Structure formats: C-alpha cells, structure tokens
Chains A and B, each alone.
Chain A
Amino acid sequence: MSNRILSLLSVMAFASTAAAEVAYEFVPNFITPPPGKETIGDGHGEIAVDSAGNIYVSVQDKDPALAGLQMYGKDGKFIKTLPLPPSLHGFVIRKLGDGEHIYAAVLGEQKVIKCNLDGTVVMEIPTSAFPAEQRDFVSVTKTDDVDPKKKSPIASGLKIADSKEEITLKLADGTEKKIPKEKGVSAAGGLKLTNCDVAPNGDIYVVDGYGRSFIFVFSADGKFKSVFGGPDKPLALANAHKIFIDKRFEPARVMICDRGHKRMLHTDLAGNFIGEIATEMRNPSSASFHGDLMCVAEIAGNVSVWDNANKRVADLGTSPQMTNTPGIAPKDWQQGIVTSPHGITFDNDGNILETEWNKWGRVLKWNVKK
C-alpha cells in the first residue's frame, strides 16, 4: 500500500510539473439533450468531432427519437440525429482524399459502414467479407434435458456446414466433427465488431473486440487484406475493445486498447508488436489524438492524457470508487466525476469530450487551459 501512496504522490508531482504544458478544466452541463429529453439516451458507443467542430455521439436507446448518431454543435446544443444503426459501438471521423467520412463498426449487425456526414452510407464491409476462420468460429453446446439452465459444451471450431440435421465443425487439429442437431443443441460465436479506424493509405482496420480480439485489415474499397492479433501469442489480446491508428508517429502505428489485460500497446501497421504504452490501467476502452497527446477513456472510472513518450500527463474525472457499470443513475452523477468512460475524443482545439457506458447517456467535457 505504501508503494501505491508513493506512486500516487509521484504521479501528482509529475502532473503538477506537466500542468505547465497541459491542464484542463471541467465544463459543467456542456451537452444539451434533444428537446424534451433530460438525458441523451442509452450510451454504449463513441464520440467524435468533425472538421467543422460538430460533435457526434452514438446512442442505442430504444426511443427512436434518440437512437442513432446524435449530432451536436460546437456549443453542445443538439442539432439532429442521423438515421444510422443504434449499435455504432465504435466510430471515427476521418478526412482523406475522398472527403470527410464516418467509419463505424456496427456491433449489432457485425459490419462496417462508411458514411457521409449526413448519414448517407457510401460503403459497407459486410460480415461475409470477413475471413471465415474468424467469422465462423463457434462453440456448440447442448442444453441439459433435465436442467434447462445447464449447458454442456460439445466442441468449438470453424463452422463449415450447418444443415437441418447437423452442424459440422473443423476442429483445431484439422479434423471434422459432425454434431447432430438434437434438441437443445446450438452454436454461438462469430464476430463482435467493436471499432475501426483508417490508416494514412486508406486501409481500414477493424477489431473484433467482444469476440476473439482479431484485427482485420481491409483496403479502402473494402476488400479483405490481412488479419492479426487474436487471443494467442505474440499479441495475446483479451477484449481488445477498440483500436486506433496513431498518426503521432511516422510511420503510423496501431494503438490497441487491450482492455482485458488493462494495457495499451502499439503495433506497426502490419501487426508486429512494437511495445506496451502502459499497463495496470483502469481498463482502457477508447482513445483519441491531438498533436503529441493521446486521451484515454478508462471504463473503470478515469480519463487519462498521455504524451508521445508514453508518459501520463493528466488524470481527469477520476472516480473515487472503481466502477464499470451502465447502471449509475443521473441522481448519483457528480459534476466532473466520470462513471464508466466508454468513448472519447479531442475536439479541434484540444478540448476533451467523453461519453459513458450509461443507460441514461452522459457526455462530459474538459477544456484545455491555454
């Protein structure tokens, strides 16, 4: 414990030194929810800013007036909701040679979409474009006849056939296993896409963060190119919640929020391990870049800011209690204290906006002190 107190003191000392370079102040009640609503709606997504400074927040609420991609002005006032799927778990806004677009992973539909800023979908990477080896990996179980609550595993592997009578898996050792579709037999698994980003050459990187943490690379026109990561070595990822292309470095790197292992790490664009950025974090969930800085949403209750030497230069909104829940109601919110940060972005001026995993929906903002 004494080591931790020493660590705390040293971080506080460092933060105060760094404060000359970077410091932030909380902006109370920044977001104005849609008319007639007290909050923005069920949040389990991301937040991003376009080149004009408009703010986009994905909301998965059951209320169709809230669900989709909500758009706010620079002043935090609601503008409109773009008619996009509600399950945009992760998205980025990037301006490349062909203009400015939203690139989003649609968790509920296991696909990636590229849209104009008005919400018009201009390209889609469907589930079928992903390699079968990851897309069709399933676990087959059987529900107990006597105790329907009990499920017994039968086998896991690549589903190569699925007829009315049986499921055929290709197992890790290369053999095939046919499993009769008796009562109670079912297969579950497949992709669970959580985020995507775009490399300088236009390649689109997509992560299967709620699945087996594989990272897929597609060309700018949506053709599959390669895959890396996953649960096995060398990267051995666990719940790689979101990935980002880190253009603070030349050449650009892939920054992976390896949330299960509470660490962030870099690979090159081909997926080769470069190094860990930080470990023992509060479960890093999302990140954004501005100049030499990176801000990180840590879902167990913290927002951190890092420089390009991988040094923590600020902590914002730190919850006095570890969280990681969407169940903290507005009556229990405290100004400037995060609950479960899930998405984060810098705006064009270096201010930080954060959206939470929260059933009522919450966005916090910290302005950079100039």
Chain B
Amino acid sequence: MRLARSILILAAGGAVLAPLCVLGHGAEFLSAKLTLLPDAEVLLEITADYGSNPLIMDEAAALDALTDPVRLRQSETLVPLSNLGKATISQHHNWAEYAPAAYLPSDTEGEAHALITSAWRWRSAEPEIVFEMPKGKLHDLLLWTLDATQIEAPPKWMLLLAGDRSRPIPIQQTPWWRSWMAAAGAGGLILLSAYFVSRNLTLRQRTL
C-alpha cells in the first residue's frame, strides 16, 4: 500500500481541483504552503485547524502539532524546522490563503474552523530541498508548493503520510550571472577607488 503511495508522491504534480474542505476529513492534516522566493529564500507556512478536527481538539494540541510537523532531509540527516529559526505564529480563519483550492469546505459542512499558522523563512544553502515525515507522525501533511517567480504556474501539492519523503524541490537560486556581476561591480569599485587614491597622492606630491 505504501508502495503505491510512494509512486503517487513521486508522481504528485499540479492538481487542478475545486475548493478546499476542512470538515472532519480535510482538517485532519496539516497544510504546508511552501513558497519559493528569489535568491534561494524559502517560506514555509504550516497551518493546523483545531475548530472541528477529531485529531486536534484545541489550541494547545494545534501548537503541539506544529512544533515538529515535518523535517528537512539534508544528506542523511533529518533536520527539525526549529533549527531554521524561531517560527512566527499567527491565528486566523482564512483557509483559502493557506491550502490549495481543492480543499475548501463543502458548503453543507459549515463547521467553525480555528486556524493556527507557523511560518519559517530561511535561505537555502542546498539547490534542492526534500521534506520527510518521520515514522509515527499522527498528522498527515499536505505540501503545497508555489513558485513566487512564476505566479501563473499551477501550484503543486502532495500528501505526505508518516514515513513519506517528498520529491526534491528545486529552489530559486540566485542566477550565476548575478553573482558574477556583483563580483565584477565590486572589483570595478575597488579599481576605481584605487585609481582616485593614487591620483590624489600623485597630485599632492606634485603640489609639494
């Protein structure tokens, strides 16, 4: 069974669906919105619903679920998100901002939702990032990837269960020519400064 799941995860691609639901089922997983920003910056916003969720009964349970929801795989190590820095935590009711459209609530299931989002922002040193759910995790994770440099591209999502690993996700590296340009610019400035300094010295010597 987990077999097929692996294939699915590998195959998981863009999904064109309808609105997102959260009652009963939908709220059972954490929604992880991954935004790939320019210059290798990554924003990960993970949202838990404790409004009508049989797996997360209250705010304390939601905060607990967000403490270590998923890990980053770096070589053979699983890195907790807490290693990336302190998370920013916010409370809201806005599912539409934090989960793909396919998961909006059915209008016949009008239960109240109470959402908490933990956000981590970091600059990746790796060209790709891989998420992994340690075995034994209770909460599934819907990983939803947005590329801020290609806003029109359809979002991609995959559902990760305990023991699952995401496919490698390429981050938005700084273009090679920008670093060369920066280096060239810096070099030019140094040369220019050196020129003016030497020119001033020469003028002073002549004056003396």
Contacts and interface: CB of A to CB of B under 8 A. Distances in A.
Interface string B137-176: 0101000000000000000001101110100000000000
B91 interface: yes
13 contacts: A7-B3, A42-B108, A62-B108, A209-B54, A210-B52, A239-B54, A280-B1, A282-B1, A323-B159, A324-B28, A327-B19, A329-B18, A359-B106
Contacts of B4: 8, 302, 315, 318, 320
Contacts, number: 156
B190 to A, nearest CB: 50
Interface string B79-116: 00000000000011100000001111011110010100
B6 interface: yes
A11 B55 contact: no
A20 interface: no
B138 A321 contact: no
B181 interface: no
A90 B29 CA distance: 22
A interface: dominant SS: loop
Name the residue among A259, A312, A325 with the largest chain B CB count within 10 angstroms: A325
Interface of A: 1, 4-5, 7-8, 11, 42, 44, 60-62, 86, 139, 141, 147, 149-153, 156, 188-189, 192, 209-213, 238-239, 259-262, 280-283, 298-302, 304, 312, 315, 318-329, 332, 340, 357, 359
A260 B28 contact: yes
A171 B4 CA distance: 45
B17 interface: yes
A327 B7 contact: no
A283 B160 CA distance: 12
Interface stretch (B37-45, B57-65, B66-74): B57-65
Given A7-B2, A44-B109, A325-B20, A149 B103 contact: no
A322 B9 contact: yes
A321 B12 contact: yes
A287 to B, nearest CB: 15
B54 A238 contact: yes
Nearest to A139: B58
Given A4-B5, A282-B5, A322-B161, 17 more contacts: A11-B1, A44-B109, A62-B108, A149-B93, A151-B114, A153-B60, A209-B54, A210-B54, A280-B163, A283-B28, A298-B1, A320-B11, A322-B158, A324-B26, A325-B26, A326-B21, A326-B26
A24 B108 CA distance: 34
Nearest to B26: A325
A307 to B, nearest CB: 16
A280 B2 contact: yes
Contact of A192 (B13, B54, B93): B54
Nearest to B165: A1
B24 interface: yes
Contacts of A327: 17-21, 101-104
Contacts of A44: 23-24, 106, 108-109
Nearest to A147: B91
A212 B54 CA distance: 7
Contacts of B58: 139, 141, 153, 156
